[in-house]
A and B are shown apart, each in its own frame.
Chain A
Amino acid sequence: MTLESLINIVYILSAISFILGFKLMSNPGSARRGNIISAVGMASAIIVTLMYPEVVRYQFIVIGIVAGGAIGMLFAYRTPMTGMPQMVGLLNGFGGLASLLVAWAEYTARPEQTYFGGAILALTALIGAITFSGSIIAWAKLEERFISGKPIMYGGQQFVTAGVIGGILLCGVLFSMDTATPEAVRFLGIITLLALVLGVLLTIPIGGADMPVVICLLNSYSGMAACASGFIVQNNLLIVAGALVGASGIILTLIMCKAMNRSVANVFLGGFGSPVQGSMMEVVGEIKPVKADDAYLMLEAADSVVIVPGYGMAVSQAQHAVRELTEALEKNGTEVRFAIHPVAGRMPGHMNVLLAEANISYDAMVEMDAVNPTMETVDVCMIIGANDVVNPAAEEDKASPLYGMPIIKAHQAKSVIVMKRSMGKGFAGVENPLFFKNNTRMLFGDAKASLQALVNEFKGAN
């Protein structure tokens, strides 16, 4: 057996391990094992690549592996669970940048390419650069550092974007026609620069609450970039792995969009989160604030409680206080479940991770579709830092921008406690009639402090 076929067989085994890893993720009990299998596949691929006949110099590889590995470890252990969306966002960007650099390295080494080779080089540079700059903007928006999380709109936005795309296409054609000329380098350079600009243009009009969609799509792009670079180096493993990641990102993007009742195009062109017009239904009723001792009496008498967490829980780092309250309730004989909306938080599954971090059993976490039919039998529905995902206007008010979005039907519970910092509106900028219903009580203040006050009430009673 030649060395080359040995390397290729190991690549096939790696591809199988990635597929198996994803498959084992279908169950929380086996998911960790799946991740380890996938990591072993990755390690094997890296090791056999060192045996490649073309690989004759090791210093750059070693420096890259050691430096990248160390930084990766820092990221993995230093990032708090509330910061997961930012970390995933940043990693998407690094994946894109790596593919962009591979395209440039390959072109530097082999400037003479076929038409197809040139087109693939240009495409890899394009996807890689969009992924990189788009992810950096998404990261900055999530961190609320350098730029605000609000959508940034300006006149003629679509025209500027269309112009940039046109420029990229033109340079792509000119580059692919003859990649060996001195001008060709400039064309690839212009493609790279314009693609970096395009990544920024596509991400700045998108508001904070739509970030889950953007992060998913960039996740998909990072896979597509890896896939495209697989065509450059003609490597099966890169194509399979890239396609899997690309598919995963697309699936998540579609799930997120469906959970917001919006199309992908609407998210990217809409600049949602900016003020909305139109006459909406008048909100009737009044706000009824309560103190912790009254909220305690409601919870103490309840047989079943559903907790709806939102981004506010992450902001106030309240997940551990939630666990303490859950334990107090369960000790009191109350059944506690967590209803999690697909778009709660800043990335898919964000709330589940925070609750798991606080040691809450995953079988207490219920999906929206499973909890809604039982909502009428729930004694108290407690909302912690969520707003739009429990807004009944999505069902009742045709003029509302939220209309049609699937919600957790908190308003059907026998009574509702809303924990909220102030009467501010949600990210959609829409008034929430739930807060004005007869059976709703508002517990104002920092979610963590309010939860601790409730826990103290339970402790005082014993």
Chain B
Amino acid sequence: MEVLIFLLLILVLSIFLGFEIISKVPSLLHTPLMSGSNAISGITVVGAMIAAGLGQGEDLAAMLGGVAVGFAMINVVGGYLVTDRMLNMFKKKDK
């Protein structure tokens, strides 16, 4: 139970922090913000890897975990690369 309270505290603090920093992102960059947060939501990959790494006798769980790793990695790799591609285009030119 104590672990749970601690995790809930982390959750609440993160939500407040998230609102603070993300409301400062200008509308100019809202598309890269979204693709970047896509990449971060791929953090599920950590949970998926723990399941996919389970040993013998847990084959079904490990396979489900492996598929989850795949989908989460599409998010991670696709999200970061496309965000980089976009941000690289935002340039300021001298008149």
Seen from chain A, the residues whose Cβ lies within 8 Å of a Cβ on chain B are 18-19, 21-23, 25-29, 31-32, 35-36, 38-39, 42, 45-46, 49-50, 52, 54-61, 63-65, 67-69, 71-73, 75-77, 79, 81, 84, 87-88, 91-92, 94-95, 97-99, 101-102, 104-106, 108-109, 116, 215-216, 219, 222-223, 225-227, 229-252, 255, 330, 340, 342, 347-350, 352-353, 356-357, 359, 361-363, 365, 367
Contact = CB atoms under 8 A, between A and B. Distances in A.
B44 A102 contact: yes
Given A94-B72, A244-B18, 14 more contacts: A18-B40, A19-B21, A22-B21, A32-B84, A63-B66, A68-B74, A77-B81, A91-B35, A95-B72, A219-B34, A219-B38, A244-B17, A247-B14, A349-B29
Contacts of B19: 247, 250-251
A353 B51 CA distance: 38
Nearest to B53: A55
Contacts of A362: 28, 90-92
A234 B23 CA distance: 28
Contact of B88 (A32, A67, A108): A32
Contact of B23 (A81, A215, A240, A251): A251
9 contacts: A38-B40, A39-B80, A45-B46, A54-B54, A75-B74, A226-B41, A241-B40, A242-B41, A362-B92
Contacts of A28: 26, 28-29, 87, 90, 92
A222 B54 CA distance: 25
B44 A353 contact: no
B55 A243 contact: no
Interface in B49-95: 49-56, 58, 60-93, 95
Contacts of A84: 31, 35, 82, 86
A139 to B, nearest CB: 13
Contacts of A68: 69-74, 76-77
Contacts, number: 380
Pick from A57, A84, A249 the residue with the most CB of B within 10 Å. A57
Interface string B13-49: 0110111011111111111111111111111111111
A229 B47 contact: yes
A238 B53 contact: no
Given A25-B33, A105-B68, A219-B37, A42 B28 contact: no
A31 B90 CA distance: 9
Contacts of A60: 52-53, 62-63, 65-66, 69
Interface of chain A, main secondary structure = helix
A94 B11 contact: no
B14 A252 contact: no
Contacts of A38: 36, 39-40, 80
Contacts of B68: 64, 97-99, 101-102, 105
A255 B54 contact: no
A91 B38 CA distance: 7
A342 to B, nearest CB: 6
Interface of B: 3-4, 7, 10-11, 14-15, 17-19, 21-56, 58, 60-93, 95
B11 A239 contact: yes
Nearest to A220: B37
Nearest to B43: A241
Q: Which 4 A-B pairs have CB atoms at the shortest separation, nearest pair first?
A: A68-B73, A64-B69, A247-B18, A60-B66
A361 B93 contact: yes
Contacts of A255: 27, 30
A65 B69 contact: yes
Given A63-B66, A91-B74, A105-B64, A244 B37 contact: yes
Contacts of B61: 105-106, 108-109
A25 B34 contact: no
Contacts of B21: 19, 22-23, 26
A435 B85 CA distance: 37
B53 A240 contact: no
Given A31-B32, A247-B22, A239 B54 contact: no
A248 B18 contact: yes
B51 to A, nearest CB: 4
B91 A64 contact: no
Contact of A353 (B17, B64, B70, B86): B86
Given A60-B62, A98-B75, A81 B42 contact: no
Nearest to B76: A42
Given A347-B34, A353-B31, A98 B66 contact: no
Given A46-B49, A84-B31, A102-B51, A237 B81 contact: no
A76 B17 contact: no
A56 B65 CA distance: 13
Contacts of A241: 40-41, 43
Nearest to A21: B36
